[in-house]
Structure 1
């Protein structure tokens, strides 16, 4: 089995829901399995402020997760058109993985959630791609051959899966958002499996 890392930060659960649907899409590809991980919250001075083991949900990510995966799906809520501080803090600490080429040549994709329809989803997704390029990853989007991309009236972009959670952050992903998240997981797994087989 080849493991694909689904790494996310979620504040109110919307990004976590997308991560679960992306993982479901990964599991649809024979030989692929999702390894779901998260990052801890940070304080105003940018240091981790939670226990080493989360009270619930997936474990916190470790550098070994990056080294052992054959692909990466990276998710964060939108914060003024950019990724949230906890994810940025984690990525900023990956100089060693960058120097060692831990992610080089592996496929990656990004996903996000915002409370409003025009809340900066696409700029967040684009900004999340930049570190992946610096790590030498092969960044994947969502093609318009996915029918839900043309049908969605909420989240979903060619840059990656997304969700509009509403002002209270409590709305569940729409059918189209779920379909696109699963399609993104499937696509990532298919590409990762092809690349892993050629190494």
Structure 2
């Protein structure tokens, strides 16, 4: 990374890989913008067993997020599978630990977007996206979605909403990301990065 690169944090939790695939597509869109670098980060699962712990470094995929990733980023894309119309507990647990960043205003004024995947087509995509926006609004972030200038929003039958990118993975996670969902995820990452660049130039 060169000094002028803007770090865009792509923060996600993924259990079976569907949300991770969306994160990678969003990162692709981020890195299509000159001067921007996508930082893919995930969060560890949580357990009801108090003694259960996770290794400090995940066995595969993106490294675990640290609070300084939030402080250093110029923009944030946050993703989670749906859990009854809400984000998954591991991502919520991570956000619950960001009080110091909220008090300092570390995220205030930075652009942000959200993305999700669902096992069923009507499994709460839009409700999850909207609920994920709430803590980011509390942090003072500038929320953005996808405008209808993207024609795929009118043709998609698998995912992709004006509230953010989404993917219908199927109950067993075997559905591949559709062409429409792929285009919209990349477009969301690109829009986030372009906005971060414009805000930095002000």
Q: Same fold (TM over 0.5)?
A: yes
What does the per-residue CA deviation read over 1:83-121, in whole Å, with 9 as the maximum and x for residues that have no partner? 000000000111011111110100000000001110001
What does the per-residue CA deviation read over 1:118-167, in whole Å, with 9 as the maximum and x for residues that have no partner? 00010000000000000000000110101111110110110000000011
Of the three residues 96, 102, 106, the one matched with 1:98 is 102
Of the three residues 113, 122, 125, the one matched with 1:109 is 113
Partner residue, 1:21: 25
Of the three residues 124, 134, 140, the one matched with 1:136 is 140
- Cα distance change of structure 1 residues 66 and 47 upon mapping to structure 2, 3 Å threshold: farther
**Contact 1:5–1:66 at 8 Å: present in 2 too?**
yes
Of the three residues 58, 64, 80, the one matched with 2:62 is 58
For these two proteins, the number of residue pairs brought into alignment is 198
- Cα distance change of structure 1 residues 47 and 112 upon mapping to structure 2, 3 Å threshold: farther
**Contact 1:10–1:77 at 8 Å: present in 2 too?**
yes
Partner residue, 1:11: 15
Ranges in structure 2 where 5+ consecutive residues have no aligned partner: none
Give 1:95-174 correspondences, 5 Å limit: 95-174=99-178
Ranges in structure 1 where 5+ consecutive residues have no aligned partner: none
Q: Residue 38 in 1 paired to residue 48 in 2?
A: no
Partner residue, 1:195: 199
Q: Residue 49 in 1 paired to residue 61 in 2?
A: no
- Cα distance change of structure 1 residues 46 and 156 upon mapping to structure 2, 3 Å threshold: farther
Partner residue, 1:175: 179
Q: Residue 75 in 1 paired to residue 75 in 2?
A: no
Q: Secondary structure at the match of 1:189?
A: helix
Q: TM-score, normalised by structure 2?
A: 0.96
Give the deviation of 1:191 after TM superposition: 0.4
Q: TM-score, normalised by structure 1?
A: 0.97
**Contact 1:41–1:49 at 8 Å: present in 2 too?**
no
